[in-house]
Structure 1
Amino acid sequence: MACWIALHLPYLALEIASARLWADGQAEASPDTTVVLAQSRVWQAGEVAQAAGVRPGMRRGGVLALLSQARFHDRDEAAETLALEALALALLRFGPDVAIVAPQCVVIDVAPSLRLFGGLASLAAQVLESAQALGHRASVGIAATASAASLLARAAEAVPMHADLLHVDLCAPYSEAGASAWHSESWRPPPLAALPEQLDPLSVALLPEAQPWLDWLEHIGCATLGELRALPSAGVRRRCGADLPAALSRAYGETPEAPTWYRAPPHFEAVLPLPSLTHDVEVLLFGLRRLLAQLTGWLAAGQLAARALTLILEHEPLGRETLAPTRFDIRLAEASAAPAHLLSLCKERLARAALIAPVLTLRLDITQTAPHVAQSGALLPEPGRERQDFVQLMERVVARLGDEHVRRLQVRGDHRPEAAFVSVPYGATNAGGQVEARIASIASAGQGAASGANRHLPQTRRISPPRPVWLLDAPQRLSVQQERPWRQGPLRLVSGPERIEAGWWEPGTVTRDYFIAADTSGALLWVFRERPVKGADAAWYLHGLFG
């Protein structure tokens, strides 16, 4: 059974207009005096304008007569579409079935995700929080069909921005009969049988298909959806066309719905113009949270995790000089889709950066992804969790100190001890990892074939020779007395030799026989003797110390 949550953005045009007034340097004016015009008539008005008597449909002259300091702004439908798409992208983290429906409404089927996000109450609160994270006040509707949920959302009042979402009664705007049909302390999904009780009391003006016929419906005394549904369907179809009864049937679940699903773009790149110029890192992080909300939905839609991000800060031009944007390339040692962790990495990078000019626009781009491996819950602590916490800690250290100050050792495919490893930045990827993995697989296959060929022989485990804990930066030459190596006394060879010949492909070829030796105090040393090449004398060297 489907369970739809609809988010209606009743103040979307006003929010876009208010943000642009701030961006234009008019921050000293209260955003409540903003009036949005569509075709020279009022579309939406701020709280101060509404208190002064400004109503939708009024002309500019009538508004100025009531409120002389009104700030007019033309409605930007393209910006509204982008805002709805950004909200739909953010909601993809809760489920794949997301659709944008007119007017100013986004719906999502959350039935498959109820248990994953802790039930309907918790999920509805998180959906509302996603809208608020993008800077929108939203009203919510929950029903068994998408059309019914959108109608209920339009009938409800917008939830305040800083309300405790887990304690908001989302059914308060609806009738007591409709709410009691399905709402309970357990927040169970509403069944199809509850649709008549939920929808019948709603105004017929909420149905978009009924807008051209509101005068006729008012003349015949049809004010609610229940009264419209009681009219003869054949007569309504002859009078109003087929769209109105078809929309009513879809809302009540009598005919199937076919929403146009929103699909995430193949590549993620989000841009956020800031409401005002700023140097403040906290303001930048506030805007970055909006971009990360969209990124989280995009990653969830593709079951991906981020490996590398690029954060770009665009600055205000200094006179006629255009400043180059500030660019932060953030690489992760392990792919992550957690917005809190990604935000912490960006925060560390911003905290140690000196901005050359006030920031005008934020841009977030993802440059490398990896398949997301979901972590399953467990009753007892998992061994891998400690490693994941350590990796995230090291990523924050790298973000704070810089790649050049945090390094790690990486093994190389070379038998020479001094060339068997290299120091690389902590977040660097192993370019030869695939080649080494291929060599290891071939070697294991060869060992398997050899063991199959010699299956009648006793199997013996190959033990690698011991290696010292401390390897000297450069081998130290030892003196030789009575044909024995000396280091504060004669050295006694305990084991060996282990022959290493490598490096013929580059300068620095080695031909050595390694031994474990004990000095007069009993300390174990790792020494080698160079093999005579072209008549040269053999020499002894100290290369490492055992713990």
Structure 2
Amino acid sequence: MHWIALRPSPDAAAAPTEPALVDASTALAWWALRFTPLVARVGEALVLEVSASERLFGGRTALLQQLLEPNRPLAQVEYAQGATSLIALAALQVHTCRVGQAAPVRGVLPDALPVHTLAAAQAHLPTLARLGVRTWGQLRALPRGGVVRRFGAEVVDALDRAYGQRPEVYPWLTLPDVFDAPLELAASVDAAPALLFGARRLLAQLLVWLRARQSGVLALELLWELDARRANTRHVDAHHQGGQQGRLELRTAEATQDMSHLQRILGEHLARVTLPAPVLYLRLRSLQTQPLGGESHSLLPEDVRKGDSLHQTLERLAARLGAHSVQCATPQADHRPEHMQRWQPWRADAARKENQGAMKSGAARAHSIGARGPKDSESERDVLPAADLYPTWLLPVPQRLVVRQSIPHYHGELTLLAGPQRLETGWLEGEPALRDYYMARSPQAGLVWVYCERLEAAEDAAWFLHGLFA
């Protein structure tokens, strides 16, 4: 058994390197849960039993270095170690060590620890001082029966737990299923963009919670409470339908722990909010989270991704320009190429569902190929699916081509390469389409996608250019 005791230093709040957190003790406890599930709060300190986690993190020294690494939730943390939790807590009071200093002596002798560091004996310190008892060893040397009659059984039980003769049982801390953190602002805020400063503190604590749960956030909401005495109902907008409260909801296409990205999106949304009254309180709450899988990093510099991803860029553009300014194509159940997709405002939740559907369809196709065997999949390559004939660029309106001696021309005589791909649809919509599509080669334009109208007389068929291949 090996225990580590942690405690925020008294000057941690005075000179933090990170944005001040709402609850430093809670944030430190959430941080410690990343390294062991056995974390308990004892007064102002935390105790961690890490013997079962040392191998996972590469040994005791490596675990302690990661526990106290620079991106921890608090800048100044005092810590100590011991064979039992009571020894670690006593060493924390006597041999405290801050990050950046040498670690306390590992071989802490419990017999030499001062008796005032034993919490169960603190109520009896005057009597123990008159008896000349100043250390744990001297207290343990007294007759057990006399100590129980004079000071109570709690002192003997604490000594047994401190020396490892009885098990140590604590109410272990657990993470809440939903992140919900309030914040009282130091001063009332009149402008919505100024709320971002307080929201940064809440996002910093959200990051600690997400890391401890190894999850990413998909949706969250920022709530603020207005000062009812100074409310101006003439400026109530869509974010203040409740009257005395405001609400702003953020959604992402992928689960993320990137607080800088969420902060930028939040700033874009707050820039368009008008507060009808000053804000006194903030609250950040998670609406939807998702476990994060491990990310494989490459040693090749060209494989290292730089800058924002595509969905992060789209989210920022939608937040800055408005949801209707960022359009995306949505597939439609129609065989006519010009009706196969519809443009609509891009939404993060819709993009996430589309990505999940693509992954499932890809997995199903891989399973199907694996069930048929490699020989069957190779034979399928000889047959060109109709979907593979679709061009990269589709013309908004098909362009009629010149036909000479029943041969269509587009920057020269066209040579038909593949086809026909027959299309008969649109009867119910009142726009019937009877077409034969071909992939053709133009002497100057390259590969093009053309079709002819299916008529009784083939020589009178009209040819149209409908797409271009990149």
Matched, 1:346 2:266: yes
2:90 alignment partner AA: L
Q: Distance in 1 between matches of 2:164 and 2:194?
A: 45
Alignment map for 1:209-358 (pairs within 5 Å): 209-279=120-190, 284-319=195-230, 323-350=243-270, 353-358=273-278
Alignment map for 1:50-449 (pairs within 5 Å): 84-85=25-26, 87-101=28-42, 103-110=43-50, 112=53, 114-115=57-58, 119-121=63-65, 123-124=67-68, 129-131=72-74, 139-155=78-94, 166-167=99-100, 169=101, 179=104, 182=105, 190=106, 193-196=107-110, 200-202=112-114, 204-279=115-190, 284-319=195-230, 323-350=243-270, 353-376=273-296, 379-381=299-301, 383=303, 385=305, 389=309, 391-392=311-312, 395-409=315-329, 415-423=335-343, 425=346, 427=348, 428-429=350-351, 431=353
Between the two proteins, the alignment pairs up a number of residues equal to 443
Q: Distance in 2 between matches of 1:353 and 1:5?
A: 45
TM-score for both structures, normalised by structure 2: 0.75
Matched, 1:473 2:396: yes
Q: 5+ unaligned residues in a row in structure 2: which ranges?
A: 15-21, 234-241
Cα separation, partners in 2 of 1:273 and 1:408, compared to 1, 3 Å = same
User: Offset of 1:526 from its aligned partner?
Assistant: 1.9
Partner residue of 1:510?
433
Partner residue of 1:7?
7
Q: Distance in 1 between matches of 2:441 and 2:416?
A: 7
Q: Distance in 1 between matches of 2:370 and 2:287?
A: 40
Q: 5+ unaligned residues in a row in structure 1: which ranges?
A: 16-79, 160-164, 172-178, 183-189
User: Does the aligned pair in 1 maintain the 2:90–2:113 contact within 8 Å?
Assistant: no
Q: Percent identity?
A: 34
Describe the superposition over 1:387-421 as per-residue Cα deviations: whole angstroms up to 9, x where unpaired: 97555555555554444434444556654333444
User: Offset of 1:243 from its aligned partner?
Assistant: 0.9
Cα separation, partners in 2 of 1:516 and 1:379, compared to 1, 3 Å = closer
Partner residue of 1:497?
419
Describe the superposition over 1:469-520 as per-residue Cα deviations: whole angstroms up to 9, x where unpaired: 3211232344556545455x77424324332436559625533211234557
User: Does the aligned pair in 2 maintain the 1:92–1:297 contact within 8 Å?
Assistant: no
Partner residue of 1:540?
463
User: Offset of 1:522 from its aligned partner?
Assistant: 5.1
Cα separation, partners in 2 of 1:394 and 1:445, compared to 1, 3 Å = closer
User: Offset of 1:262 from its aligned partner?
Assistant: 0.8
Alignment map for 1:29-48 (pairs within 5 Å): none
SS at match of 1:106: strand
TM-score for both structures, normalised by structure 1: 0.66
Q: Distance in 2 between matches of 1:281 and 1:545?
A: 49
SS at match of 2:184: strand
Describe the superposition over 1:325-356 as per-residue Cα deviations: whole angstroms up to 9, x where unpaired: 33332222221234454445434544565545
User: Offset of 1:4 from its aligned partner?
Assistant: 1.2
SS at match of 1:141: strand
Q: Distance in 1 between matches of 2:172 and 2:427?
A: 59
User: Does the aligned pair in 2 maintain the 1:6–1:146 contact within 8 Å?
Assistant: no
Q: Distance in 2 between matches of 1:337 and 1:144?
A: 36
User: Does the aligned pair in 1 maintain the 2:414–2:440 contact within 8 Å?
Assistant: yes
Cα separation, partners in 2 of 1:121 and 1:315, compared to 1, 3 Å = same
SS at match of 2:73: helix
User: Does the aligned pair in 1 maintain the 2:224–2:281 contact within 8 Å?
Assistant: yes
User: Offset of 1:449 from its aligned partner?
Assistant: 6.4
**What's the Cα RMSD here?**
4.4
1:89 alignment partner AA: W
User: Offset of 1:99 from its aligned partner?
Assistant: 1.2
Partner residue of 1:65?
none
Q: Distance in 2 between matches of 1:458 and 1:125?
A: 56
User: Does the aligned pair in 2 maintain the 1:8–1:153 contact within 8 Å?
Assistant: no
User: Offset of 1:130 from its aligned partner?
Assistant: 1.9
User: Offset of 1:373 from its aligned partner?
Assistant: 0.9
User: Does the aligned pair in 2 maintain the 1:315–1:361 contact within 8 Å?
Assistant: yes
1:475 alignment partner AA: P
Cα separation, partners in 2 of 1:269 and 1:318, compared to 1, 3 Å = same
Describe the superposition over 1:133-191 as per-residue Cα deviations: whole angstroms up to 9, x where unpaired: xxxx864433333223333334577x9xxxxx743x376xxxxxxx4xx3xxxxxxx3x
Cα separation, partners in 2 of 1:359 and 1:388, compared to 1, 3 Å = same
Cα separation, partners in 2 of 1:445 and 1:85, compared to 1, 3 Å = closer
2:398 alignment partner AA: P
Q: Distance in 2 between matches of 1:284 and 1:83?
A: 21
SS at match of 2:255: strand
Structure 1 window deviating more from structure 2 (268-277 vs 231-240): it is: 231-240
2:199 alignment partner AA: L
User: Does the aligned pair in 1 maintain the 2:336–2:425 contact within 8 Å?
Assistant: yes
Q: Distance in 2 between matches of 1:147 and 1:471?
A: 74
Q: Distance in 1 between matches of 2:69 and 2:354?
A: 46
Structure 1 window deviating more from structure 2 (141-150 vs 424-433): it is: 424-433
2:110 alignment partner AA: P
